[in-house]
Amino acid sequence: MMKRWQAVKRLLPLLAVFSLLLAGCGREDLSVLRPQGPVAQEQLGLMKLAISIMIVVLVIVFAIAAYVLVKFRRRKGQNGVPEQVEGNFKLEIIWTVIPLVLVIILAVPTVQQIFAFGDDHYNDKDAVQVKVTSHQYWWEFEYPQYGVKTAQTLVIPTGKKIAFELKTADVLHSFWVPSLSGKMDTNPDGTINRFSFSADKEGVYRGKCAELCGPSHGFMEFKVKAVNGDSFNNWVTAMKAPAVLPEDPALAETFKKQCLSCHAVGDQGGPVGPNLTGIGSRESVAGILLNEGQDGGKPVKENLKEWLMDPQAVKPGNKMPNPKDLGLTDEQIDGIADYLANYKLNY
């Protein structure tokens, strides 16, 4: 009895490790194993190549080891020192040449493709340029060819090359959409990084900051929404339409005074906070509160209220002041949440 308990106790850490591993399998939209575009596809191809070669080597080496262990084990009545072998020219050549060949098979496509991933396509004629700026704890997306800025949901046309130019407004962050491509850092030293990817199919892909950047790093999420070319053009047109303000003039005044000092809607407001144009039709509020239509999402107004009632409770350490400290009443907050929830774009 005692012994069995000991064995169970020894297995517990293993169990813990496996549960952790399995916990990582929950969200498929954060997986590099389900590529949704050519860049992610090629990167997965490289991983598969490396893993297959390693598995083949592993199987062969273990098979030989097992065979040798069994075949040359000490048999009954065998007590002397076995025959000592020193060097075998043929074997040594074989186990030098085979790994060499394997490393070359691994290296040629890896080096080739890694350089290709680093190619600068920013000025390609048919690429859609996007300037990404990371902030503690949100993402800003600017489309210089279209004169449009948005936040948290990156809208892209399917099938087109999206060429990014990435920088940070504060600390080191990393831009990562696992189903579309590997990561790219946004560097605080002023370096600007460029890379590109594209999405084959329409859909919403989940992105994350992949570099520990502060207490709300884990909440620094965003979405990539791939739509067809026509929808993308409609979206750009809708983004450029004049600002829509709250209907109630007093509320509009409060919103302009207290919110548009940092935020922009349409052609009004400032660049300090996320652009709020059409926030009612986005996939999330503040990147992390998922709206209806997303897995486990809530009505957008509910999320907006949750955010506006206490931004620090949602994302500790973020740079948005509490609207109550700006002098807003619960009623005004409700009114603004209602206005923002109904600020939708058709595309």
- Residue 289 parent element (H or E): strand 289-290
Task: Assess 173 for contact with Cu ion (CB under 5 A).
Answer: yes
> Nearer to Cu ion by C-beta: 169 or 243?
169
Q: Tell me if 137 contacts ligand HEC by CB under 6 A.
A: yes
Could you tell me the smallest distance in angstroms from the CB atom of residue 296 to Cu ion? 23
Closest contact distance (angstroms) between CB of 247 and ligand HEC is: 15
DSSP string, 309-343: H-HHHHSTT-SPPPTTTTT--HHHHHHHHHHHHT-
CA dihedral 290, 294, 296, 302 (to 10 degrees): 40
Q: Which does 209 bind (CB under 5 to 8 A by kind): ligand HEC, Cu ion, none?
A: Cu ion
Interface residue with ligand HEC, options 175, 205, 307, 343 (CB under 6 A): 307
Among 272, 312, 322, 329, binds ligand HEC (CB under 6 A): 272
Measured from the CB atom, the residue of 149 and 161 that comes closer to ligand HEC is 149
Span of 211-219, 251-259, 273-281, 338-346 interacting with Cu ion by CB under 5 A: 211-219
Asked if 328 touches ligand HEC (CB under 6 A), the answer is yes
Which ranges of the chain would DSSP assign to H, the alpha helix? 2-23, 38-71, 89-117, 229-240, 249-258, 300-309, 311-314, 330-341
In the list Cu ion, ligand HEC, none, the entry touching 341 (Cβ below 5 to 8 angstroms by class) is none
Q: How far apart are CA 142 and CA 131, in angstroms?
A: 5
Go through 291-316 and write b for each residue having 16 or more CB atoms within 10 A of its CB, e for each that does not.
beeeeeeeebbbbbbbbbbebeebbe
For Cu ion, the closer CB: 55 or 192: 192
Q: What mask of x and - would describe binding to Cu ion in positions 292 to 321, judged by CB under 5 A? A: ------------------------------
The stretches of 178-246 forming alpha helices (DSSP H) are 229-240
Residue closer to Cu ion by CB (options 213, 260) is: 213
CA distance 105 to 53: 9
What is the dihedral sign for C-alpha 246, 311, 265, 340?
negative
Site string (164-203) toward ligand HEC, x via CB under 6 A: ----------------------------------------
Separation CA 36–CA 223 (nearest Å): 14
> Would you say 20 and 12 are in contact if contact means Cβ atoms under 8 Å apart?
no
Contacting positions for ligand HEC (CB under 6 A): 137-138, 151-152, 258-259, 261-263, 272-274, 276, 279, 285-287, 304, 307-308, 315, 318-321, 323, 326, 328, 336, 340
Contacting positions for Cu ion (CB under 5 A): 173, 209, 213, 220
